[in-house]
A and B are shown apart, each in its own frame.
Chain A
Amino acid sequence: MIRFDNLSKRYPGGLEALSNVSFELEKGEMAFLTGPSGAGKSTLLKLLMLMERPTSGTLLINGKNLNRLSRSAIPNYRRQIGVVFQNHQLLTDRTVFDNVALPLQISGYPASETGRRVRAALDGVGLLDKENLNPLTLSGGEQQRVGIARAVVHKPKILLADEPTGNLDPKLSAEIMAMFRRFQSVGVTVLIATHDINLINTMDERIMYLENGMITDDGVRHGHH
């Protein structure tokens, strides 16, 4: 589903954020991307979001080369991915419902269908009773769950998350991770960038360790239960 082939990203000024990164994620696979800050986790996600373009190498999504995607094709590509952001990226001028509905409105869904899907997504993250509130009135954990609902409301095949448990306590973090697992169990390919090594070590999932722009370790770590 996701394949990096010798991919490098060099920023103007010479900083090489990623060098010769290669890995593959199967459909329905879940993986964590970890490593010290500045190792290139965010850059890797930005390449997947087409917020950045690689300097060299190829990035294949479902067998198709992202390098060949023109600027005008980017919106349609992004509609097929769900993203959970570290800082939630919720809009504070509208309700929880309208925040979650945004990807559907952008894709032109009719109102009735939008309402049905938004409520299903909010139900999935346990926030159905908060749909008319402003995100500002919610706690950090609830805001992150609204972000997750928005990321999955259009049923993407790929779900990306950048530090989704950033400022949450261990209990809330575990809840959020359990949610990602649920999406994986229904066939969504999930890639989560996080520095929360203690948490992911308990999850028996594939972990890719990124250091100085290179993958130095890739595999499932068992134990620590």
Chain B
Amino acid sequence: MAITEKTNRETPPRGATGQKFRLADRWRGYRAHHRATLSSSLGKMLGEPIQTLMTVLVIAIALALPSAMLLMLNNVQKIGGDLESSSQITVFVAKLAESKAVEGLALQLEDLKGVISVTYVSAEQALEEFKALSGFGTALRYLDENPLPAVFLVQPLLSGETGVSQAESLITSIEALESVEDVQVDMLWIQRLNAITEIGEKVVLAISIALGIGVLLIVGNTIRLAIQGRQEEIIVVKLVGGTDAYVRRPFLYTGTLLGLFGAVIASFMLIGCFIWIGRSVEILASLYQSQFELVGLGLSGVLALCAIGAVTGLIGAWIAVMQHLRKIEPK
């Protein structure tokens, strides 16, 4: 409803180019208002440092906990992946197979999809190795013939999550080949590890959801108190024509900032923890002659955590604002 002509009332006289300047001025005014709202929200938070710090710390812990678990899980999966790729498939050659058939088998194995390398260990080599390693050398002399079969050591290409199923189909196709007596591979523990990490993922997800709701409630409650504290101001702003969006804006900024600060502190907590734990992991890994290194949050992880924190804070503030702001009307 225009009581007056809007252009007359709200625009400074600018001459012929008035309209153009008007839009530009409006946009500048709008941005300036956002900047002012952001800095006043920040100022109000810093004006109550203890209260703000406590809220931010609670949010930080709620964000850091599931993140830490997720990182741990990633590292366990990485260990699993490293070991998985070092696993070998042992192919026992039928005892009665002729040398030509064995040569053919070698070629067939090399041609199979998902095979990196094939190593042939003849029955004699196997026996020598066994003698050397087992300490039963003298006892074996009493045997009439070599009880060990010739063996192919097949190094499969196992990548990521599909590794196990790839290996399983590889085993099936090896078993179908001629002159193959038996195929052995210790896949069970890989399957177990995968099952455990799958449970772990679900647990982390459940905890993340619970703590995410916690963050929403913390931010929501903080914003609710802020709204109550500024009730008088909200009424005056509404009386002089402030829109719902205008009234809402500082609270949304506050919520977003709370979530963002919480995420930043959570990132510091996680980085600190992983540096601390990482040293011990290094020592342990060197004892196992492993090159394993703990995977930390990384820059992308920090950014993702900050985004999650800010968005969660914004949603929490939005919920509180929706619940409480409409009730405050000038009477």
- List residues of A whose CB falls within 8 A of some B CB: 1, 49, 51, 61-62, 64, 66, 69, 72-73, 75-81, 83, 85, 89-91, 93, 102-103, 105-111, 113, 150, 154-158
Task: Give the number of residues in B that approach A within 8 Å (Cβ atoms).
Answer: 31
Q: Which of B5-44 contact A (CB under 8 A)?
A: 9-10, 12, 25-26, 28-30, 32-33, 36
B329 is an interface residue with CB less than 8 A from chain A = yes
B4 is an interface residue with CB less than 8 A from chain A = yes
B288-331 Cβ-contact flags toward A at 8 Å (1 or 0):
00000000000000000000000000000000000000000111
B242 is an interface residue with CB less than 8 A from chain A = yes
- List residues of B whose CB falls within 8 A of some A CB: 1-4, 9-10, 12, 25-26, 28-30, 32-33, 36, 232-233, 235-244, 246, 329-331
In the bound complex, CA of A1 to CA of B236 (Å): 25
Q: Chain A residue with minimal CB distance to B233?
A: A91
Does B9 contact A111, Cβ atoms closer than 8 Å? Answer: no
In the bound complex, CA of A36 to CA of B41 (Å): 44
In the bound complex, CA of A103 to CA of B232 (Å): 16
Q: Chain B residue with minimal CB distance to A92?
A: B232
> Inside 8 A of B243's CB, which chain A residues have their CB?
72, 75-76, 106
Does A76 contact B1, Cβ atoms closer than 8 Å? Answer: yes
Q: Chain A residue with minimal CB distance to B2?
A: A80
Does A157 contact B3, Cβ atoms closer than 8 Å? Answer: yes
Does A107 contact B10, Cβ atoms closer than 8 Å? Answer: yes
In the bound complex, CA of A41 to CA of B239 (Å): 18
Does B29 contact A111, Cβ atoms closer than 8 Å? Answer: yes
> Inside 8 A of A110's CB, which chain B residues have their CB?
25-26, 28-29, 32
Does A78 contact B2, Cβ atoms closer than 8 Å? Answer: no
Does B329 contact A51, Cβ atoms closer than 8 Å? Answer: yes
A150-B240 contact in complex given A51-B330, A69-B1, C-beta closer than 8 Å:
yes
Does A105 contact B236, Cβ atoms closer than 8 Å? Answer: no
In the bound complex, CA of A80 to CA of B235 (Å): 17
A64-B1 contact in complex given A107-B10, A108-B33, C-beta closer than 8 Å:
yes
> Inside 8 A of A78's CB, which chain B residues have their CB?
238-241
In the bound complex, CA of A90 to CA of B239 (Å): 12
Q: A78-B239, A91-B236, A106-B246 are in contact. List 9 more A-B contacts (CB 8 A).
A: A51-B329, A62-B1, A75-B242, A76-B1, A81-B3, A103-B241, A108-B30, A110-B26, A110-B28
A-B contact pairs, 12 of them (CB 8 A): A51-B239, A51-B329, A51-B330, A64-B1, A69-B1, A77-B1, A78-B238, A83-B240, A89-B239, A110-B25, A111-B32, A157-B3
> Inside 8 A of A76's CB, which chain B residues have their CB?
1, 241, 243
Q: Chain A residue with minimal CB distance to B37?
A: A105
Question: How many Å from the CB of B320 to the closest CB on chain A?
Answer: 20
Q: Chain B residue with minimal CB distance to A82?
A: B240
A106-B3 contact in complex given A111-B29, A111-B32, A113-B12, C-beta closer than 8 Å:
no
Does B236 contact A89, Cβ atoms closer than 8 Å? Answer: yes
Does A108 contact B29, Cβ atoms closer than 8 Å? Answer: yes
Q: Chain B residue with minimal CB distance to A85?
A: B239
Does A108 contact B237, Cβ atoms closer than 8 Å? Answer: no
Does A107 contact B33, Cβ atoms closer than 8 Å? Answer: no
Does A93 contact B1, Cβ atoms closer than 8 Å? Answer: no
Checking A64, A75, A157 against B241 with a beta-carbon cut-off of 8 angstroms, the contacting residue is: A75
Question: How many Å from the CB of B330 to the closest CB on chain A?
Answer: 5
Does A49 contact B233, Cβ atoms closer than 8 Å? Answer: no
Question: How many Å from the CB of B41 to the closest CB on chain A?
Answer: 13
Q: Chain A residue with minimal CB distance to B32?
A: A111
Does A61 contact B242, Cβ atoms closer than 8 Å? Answer: no
Does B237 contact A102, Cβ atoms closer than 8 Å? Answer: yes
> Inside 8 A of B25's CB, which chain A residues have their CB?
109-110, 113
Question: How many Å from the CB of B217 to the closest CB on chain A?
Answer: 27
> Inside 8 A of A85's CB, which chain B residues have their CB?
239
Does A102 contact B236, Cβ atoms closer than 8 Å? Answer: yes
Question: How many Å from the CB of A18 to the closest CB on chain B?
Answer: 17
Q: Chain A residue with minimal CB distance to B236?
A: A89
Does A79 contact B239, Cβ atoms closer than 8 Å? Answer: no
A155-B1 contact in complex given A83-B239, A102-B236, C-beta closer than 8 Å:
no
A158-B239 contact in complex given A51-B330, A109-B29, C-beta closer than 8 Å:
no
A102-B240 contact in complex given A61-B3, A91-B232, A113-B25, C-beta closer than 8 Å:
yes
> Inside 8 A of B9's CB, which chain A residues have their CB?
80, 154-155, 157
Q: Chain B residue with minimal CB distance to A73?
A: B1
> Inside 8 A of B237's CB, which chain A residues have their CB?
102, 106
> Inside 8 A of A79's CB, which chain B residues have their CB?
240-241
In the bound complex, CA of A112 to CA of B330 (Å): 30
Checking B3, B329, B331 against A62 with a beta-carbon cut-off of 8 angstroms, the contacting residue is: B3
Q: Chain A residue with minimal CB distance to B25?
A: A110
Interface centre among B1, B12, B25, B233, by most chain A C-beta atoms within 10 angstroms, is B1
